[in-house]
Structure 1
């Protein structure tokens, strides 16, 4: 590493810090970043360079307050965790700061570092806040003080911005109200009678004890603690991978003109294909090194207006409850799609593919990966005005695909109350009645005691925690059902029965599960075509045909025929 000390000058502290950084698997990246940013003379990274490396710019958020807060994230991060001097941050200070941010530590301590960063960012931005937090020390996870309801929303937005840094070039401001309402109702006693259907958390004048909010995060959205480490790693990784200078707007114009030249040469050339190929290869190299931030605004990702139940906010909130690779699959839902604007992970949507269990089954059959089913319903008359109709959304995450069975099955899963307030009901561990999905087959025989047809989750047969009828017209929620599969608790909605507005199923098994489902559908189609084929040779002889046998039996059913031996 160019700017790092020689082996003879390595101190014991440096050896220990490098050993810790090696255990994280990130030491080679840190060496590249330091070599790239450090001043050869001082062998230190200037504070301004480190601040720019750790700063976040994802476009212009729609929130005025958030747009003021966001530019101060990088400078605050450096001030709190990277203790440098006037010359900058040397190699030991750089390693020490990274380990403070991303070293192995309990989730509770990671959350404390997030709180400290938020407090410092608010202070540097000069925002008037009633936030009062006290931290006992850097080595403990003890925290005291209060969050305001507005601070809860802003804190969640900061975490969202950091988590999306690696996959988005433009920030989408989410509706944090359901998630923030969950925190407010769980951490305070003054809002138990709060009308969640018509409430803006930012407008509430309540204080949330820091310890209670801390416990809410760890129990409801534990993956929130990882946002900070993922953000720092992503910023350093991007800095280490960037080998060319960012292109400005004039470079974009040059590239556009260059593209036109390539097209003109290609159109007018007869025997100069090698030169055209060289031009095209040069263009590819230039475009590969082009920074997304230097592209025109029209090329930035922007969440289009869609009416899907699975929004970016819903996907992110559910991903925060998980500790597995499903987090990444859920966050991919925030990025489109196929070239035609559709979602390649959308397995079924009732308004698109038709209502009912049979239509549902034709689109989810053969998919053997984790799935997320979302149900939107209303307890009012959908013909009335929007203010009179209470729409709400619930969700179920299954670790496997759906099977046509007349008994419960499954290995794991979670229930979700998504809107208007977010709650998660994780597995209880006593029973495994995770999913019930039963559809009568077309060739069924007589059943004296037929099993109910429809979808069910939790509870027991006939007393499911959530059940959807065969026509996808009604959904029944039994808040107090005896359920030993999912953790107890009310989903937060008063009606026991409601009209289904929309049902969606999203596949979270990745490309492997989609390919397996495609193979399954191809096999089923092949079997169906084979069953429909008629062997004309078999039925070509009247004496051997089933029709002649039936005619003979009808004409003289008592006739005795000699058996051929």
Structure 2
């Protein structure tokens, strides 16, 4: 009792507040364990060098999907760890004590608004750029996380910033400990950079988004507009920093258990499989950054090697594999009751260009439930995505609930004076759908957002005018995002349907008598000679 009371008296109000703030994030036990591992038992402090080494990441080589790769990126990552420590963890009397450790974590990863966390991310990026010797046009009025930021970003800066966030996630999800030096895989995220450029900068209408040199674009993105774009399009971008800091601290705790292993969870990352799918790593990451729910984590699993085991099971339908058409599609998605990601790749002629060259683009739809065979719209919520060549997100507007329409041919031959369209649609109204796909999966029609009050307004295709755009479908993919439970339910449903079908096919010959005694033969004889008298044998 006396020792307990004495201990409580030594705890300052600031320490109680900091521990309470750390506990609110769920990281207090982790911080206590990592501080115990990293600190010197004699001084009970962590040296600056030890903490910098904890957050240090470096890659000898990288695999890049995009041909546009800034040469400065690998060297930028060398300064990431030291930038985090120098900005938030202040050393006192030769090291960082428990209070300084808590204070630094709360400033970096504590509970704060999304705008404040984005400010923190930009401060780290600007510091790393400064350590690298590159000029940055970002200016911070104070050291507080909610301070005003002035200046601008170049498209190349946006690419470096996004790749920095990706690398932080890649590191904690695919490597075991800080000394690991596996290859870094960099996805093609030009669609995300172009989204920021088109939304924030003054660009001319002559910008060719299908063939654009990101590194060569000489436009400035005002930081205020960039933050507004990030809040709207990538609200979970700053979570990459939180996961990185927590992951590195967890690695320091597990370092002894790993027995000094420096091998990555998986070997070299090949991008060939990613290129053959519509849901590439970069597109999956962009979609995950746009949502704050459990679906985001399911999409994120497709991005990293350590999580990708069994991911192909989530691919419910692919037109080039399973065959085009509504019937083939239905046989693969029927019985899946969970969120779905529907992707369509198509090509259309650009009426704004002099040439008639076909332009390829990709759009997507995220639904919260499986597909149903109905002759009316249904659904509770969803998102539309312009994915390639520019990424945009259009969530529910809250005005109408025409989220999904999926209608097959009626099974019975029933006359319909006003037959409902057969196909798949999203948004709009019947005969004026925002997106409509015909039953053969050959053509897709995309209409202006003025026809749709279910989803937010915006162009799904670059240079989309008011007139409807008809295009030829190249590929359709459907990904199940309901987790293992939804997949198991669908598997059980399919097995049950196969069992019923097999039972209907089986014929028990013992239940039938001979042909001469069958009712069918009697009917045929009567039709052949209706006046013939049949004498019953007695």
The TM-score bracket by the shorter chain reads 0.7 to 0.9
Look up the match of 1:526. Answer: 499
* Alpha-carbon distance change, 106 to 337 in structure 1, aligned in 2, over 3 angstroms: closer
1:60 paired with 2:33, answer: no
* Contact 1:336/1:342 (8 A) holds in 2: no
Distance (whole Å) between structure 2 residues aligned to residue 81 and residue 533 of structure 1: 73
What secondary structure does 2:433 align onto? Answer: strand
* Alpha-carbon distance change, 558 to 77 in structure 1, aligned in 2, over 3 angstroms: farther
Shift in Å, 1:8: 5.5
Q: Which moved more, 1:42-51 or 1:156-165?
A: 156-165
What secondary structure does 1:205 align onto? Answer: coil
1:508 paired with 2:477, answer: no
Look up the match of 2:263. Answer: 292
1:98 paired with 2:71, answer: no
What secondary structure does 1:498 align onto? Answer: strand
Shift in Å, 1:18: 1.5
What secondary structure does 1:393 align onto? Answer: strand
* Contact 1:174/1:312 (8 A) holds in 2: yes
Shift in Å, 1:168: 2.2
Q: Which moved more, 1:320-329 or 1:300-309?
A: 300-309
1:189 paired with 2:162, answer: no
* Alpha-carbon distance change, 407 to 388 in structure 1, aligned in 2, over 3 angstroms: same
- Alignment counterpart, residue 229 of structure 1, candidates 242, 253, 269: 242
Look up the match of 1:204. Answer: 217
- Alignment counterpart, residue 69 of structure 1, candidates 69, 76, 79: 76
Distance (whole Å) between structure 1 residues aligned to residue 250 and residue 270 of structure 2: 24
Distance (whole Å) between structure 1 residues aligned to residue 320 and residue 401 of structure 2: 31
Look up the match of 1:83. Answer: 90
Look up the match of 2:41. Answer: 40
* Alpha-carbon distance change, 135 to 365 in structure 1, aligned in 2, over 3 angstroms: farther
What secondary structure does 2:419 align onto? Answer: coil
Shift in Å, 1:164: 2.7
* Alpha-carbon distance change, 36 to 340 in structure 1, aligned in 2, over 3 angstroms: closer
Shift in Å, 1:292: 3.1
* Alpha-carbon distance change, 35 to 142 in structure 1, aligned in 2, over 3 angstroms: same
* Contact 1:130/1:148 (8 A) holds in 2: no
What secondary structure does 1:409 align onto? Answer: coil
Shift in Å, 1:139: 5.1
Distance (whole Å) between structure 1 residues aligned to residue 530 and residue 19 of structure 2: 95
Shift in Å, 1:407: 1.1
Look up the match of 2:393. Answer: 424
Q: How does 1:464-503 map to 2 (within 5 A)?
A: 464-493=433-462, 494=464, 496-503=469-476
What secondary structure does 1:343 align onto? Answer: helix
Look up the match of 1:260. Answer: none
Q: How does 1:132-147 map to 2 (within 5 A)?
A: 132-138=138-144, 140-147=146-153
* Alpha-carbon distance change, 134 to 340 in structure 1, aligned in 2, over 3 angstroms: closer
Shift in Å, 1:399: 0.8
Distance (whole Å) between structure 2 residues aligned to residue 186 and residue 329 of structure 1: 28
Q: Provide the TM-score with structure 2 as the length reference.
A: 0.88
Distance (whole Å) between structure 2 residues aligned to residue 394 and residue 339 of structure 1: 23
Look up the match of 1:320. Answer: 289
User: C-alpha deviations, 1:87-145, integer Å up to 9, x for none?
Assistant: 22111100000111111111110000001000001011112x34232245515253222
* Contact 1:188/1:207 (8 A) holds in 2: yes
- Alignment counterpart, residue 394 of structure 1, candidates 359, 363, 367: 363
Shift in Å, 1:216: 0.7
- Alignment counterpart, residue 459 of structure 1, candidates 428, 434, 450: 428
* Alpha-carbon distance change, 340 to 115 in structure 1, aligned in 2, over 3 angstroms: closer
What secondary structure does 1:344 align onto? Answer: helix
Q: Which moved more, 1:132-141 or 1:47-56?
A: 132-141
1:551 paired with 2:524, answer: yes
Shift in Å, 1:52: 1.3
Aligned length: 507
Shift in Å, 1:339: 10
Structure with greater contact order relative to length (CA < 8 Å, sep ≥ 6): 2
* Alpha-carbon distance change, 138 to 324 in structure 1, aligned in 2, over 3 angstroms: same
* Contact 2:365/2:383 (8 A) holds in 1: yes
* Alpha-carbon distance change, 547 to 407 in structure 1, aligned in 2, over 3 angstroms: same
Look up the match of 1:9. Answer: 10
User: C-alpha deviations, 1:314-366, integer Å up to 9, x for none?
Assistant: 00000111010111100111246999998121111111111111111111111
RMSD: 2.8
* Alpha-carbon distance change, 27 to 538 in structure 1, aligned in 2, over 3 angstroms: same
Distance (whole Å) between structure 2 residues aligned to residue 445 and residue 553 of structure 1: 32
Distance (whole Å) between structure 2 residues aligned to residue 334 and residue 463 of structure 1: 36
1:108 paired with 2:151, answer: no
* Contact 2:174/2:305 (8 A) holds in 1: no
- Alignment counterpart, residue 345 of structure 1, candidates 296, 301, 314: 314
Shift in Å, 1:445: 3.4
1:151 paired with 2:151, answer: no
Look up the match of 1:179. Answer: 192
- Alignment counterpart, residue 355 of structure 1, candidates 318, 324, 342: 324
* Contact 2:22/2:28 (8 A) holds in 1: yes
What secondary structure does 1:395 align onto? Answer: strand
* Contact 1:436/1:456 (8 A) holds in 2: yes
* Contact 1:43/1:90 (8 A) holds in 2: yes
User: C-alpha deviations, 1:434-480, integer Å up to 9, x for none?
Assistant: 11111125554343332211111110111110111111111111124
User: C-alpha deviations, 1:60-105, integer Å up to 9, x for none?
Assistant: 2354211010011000000001111462211110000011111111
User: C-alpha deviations, 1:7-34, integer Å up to 9, x for none?
Assistant: 5532222222122222222111111111
What secondary structure does 1:203 align onto? Answer: coil
Distance (whole Å) between structure 1 residues aligned to residue 256 and residue 336 of structure 2: 42
- Long gaps (5+) in structure 2: 1-5, 176-182, 351-355
* Alpha-carbon distance change, 87 to 304 in structure 1, aligned in 2, over 3 angstroms: farther
- Alignment counterpart, residue 172 of structure 2, candidates 166, 170, 173: 166
* Alpha-carbon distance change, 93 to 444 in structure 1, aligned in 2, over 3 angstroms: farther
